C-alpha cells in the first residue's frame, strides 16, 4: 500500500461523526475527525491517556483498540483489527447526524448553511415530555453514562415527568 505525504501507511477520510469512546471505567462522547481502516483522530473532552484500551462505538458499529497519543481534546486511536471505513461513514437514519453531516458539507463547500426544518405545528407539552423521556432512556443505556451523569439523568427524568403532568392537567 503506498504511503501518504505525512508518512502514514494509508489515507484517512476526513469526517465529522458522532461516537462514544468507552474504557473499562467510562464512556465519553467524541467526534471522529478522520478515519482509516486502522485508526482514527478523535476530538472530545476528558479523553483517556496514551496506552489505555478503548472501544469506539457509533450506532451498532464497534472498534477495539488503544489510545496511541492524547493531547488536550485530541487523541489518536489505533484499532486492533481493520474496520470497514465505508460502514462507519455511511449515513445513518439518525436525523441529528444527518443535520450535522449536511452542515459540515455546506461549510466545506463554503455554501450557505441548510435551513433547519421546523415542525408544521409547535410541539406540545406531551411531545416535549415524550422526547425528553426518550433522550433520558438513550443516555441511561450508554455504558458508564449513569455513573458519570447520574444526577443530570435524574433531573432530566423529573423534568419529563413534570411536563407530562402539566400536559395531563391541560387536557388534549
Tens digit of each residue's pLDDT (9 = 90 or more) over 52-95: 999 998 878 899 999 999 999 899 999 999 999 888 887 554 55
63 in Cβ contact with 79 (< 8 Å) = yes
CA angle (167, 117, 119) in 5-degree steps: 25
Structural domain contains residue 101:
no
User: pTM of the full predicted structure?
Assistant: 0.52
CA pair distance 36, 4, nearest whole angstrom:
12
Please give the mean pLDDT across all residues of the chain: 76
Instruction: Indicate if 78 and 131 belong to the same structural domain.
Output: no
Retrieve residue 10's grid coordinates: 494509508
Tens digit of each residue's pLDDT (9 = 90 or more) over 98-121: 666 666 666 667 777 665 544 445
Give the domain range for residue 169: 120-172
Instruction: Indicate if 24 and 85 belong to the same structural domain.
Output: yes
Q: Is 5 exposed, middle or buried (0-12, 13-18, 19+ CB in 10 A)?
A: exposed
Tens digit of each residue's pLDDT (9 = 90 or more) over 5-32: 444 455 667 777 888 888 888 888 888 8
Amino acid at each position: 500500500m503506498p504511503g501518504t505525504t505525512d508518512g502514514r501507511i494509508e489515507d484517512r477520510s476526513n469526517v465529522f461523526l458522532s461516537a462514544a469512546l468507552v474504557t473499562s471505567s467510562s464512556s465519553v462522547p467524541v467526534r471522529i475527525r478522520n478515519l482509516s481502516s486502522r485508526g482514527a483522530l478523535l476530538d472530545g473532552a476528558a479523553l483517556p491517556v496514551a496506552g489505555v484500551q478503548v472501544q469506539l462505538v457509533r450506532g451498532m458499529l464497534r472498534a477495539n483498540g488503544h489510545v496511541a497519543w492524547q493531547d488536550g481534546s485530541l487523541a489518536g486511536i489505533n484499532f486492533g483489527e481493520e474496520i470497514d471505513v465505508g460502514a462507519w461513514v455511511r449515513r445513518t437514519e439518525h436525523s441529528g447526524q444527518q443535520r450535522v453531516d449536511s452542515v459540515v458539507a455546506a461549510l466545506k463547500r463554503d455554501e450557505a448553511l441548510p435551513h433547519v426544518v421546523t415542525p408544521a405545528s409547535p410541539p406540545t407539552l406531551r411531545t416535549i415530555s415524550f422526547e425528553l423521556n426518550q433522550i433520558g432512556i438513550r443516555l441511561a443505556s450508554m455504558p458508564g453514562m449513569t455513573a458519570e451523569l447520574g444526577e443530570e439523568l435524574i433531573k432530566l427524568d423529573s423534568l419529563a415527568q413534570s411536563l407530562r403532568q402539566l400536559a395531563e392537567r391541560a387536557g388534549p
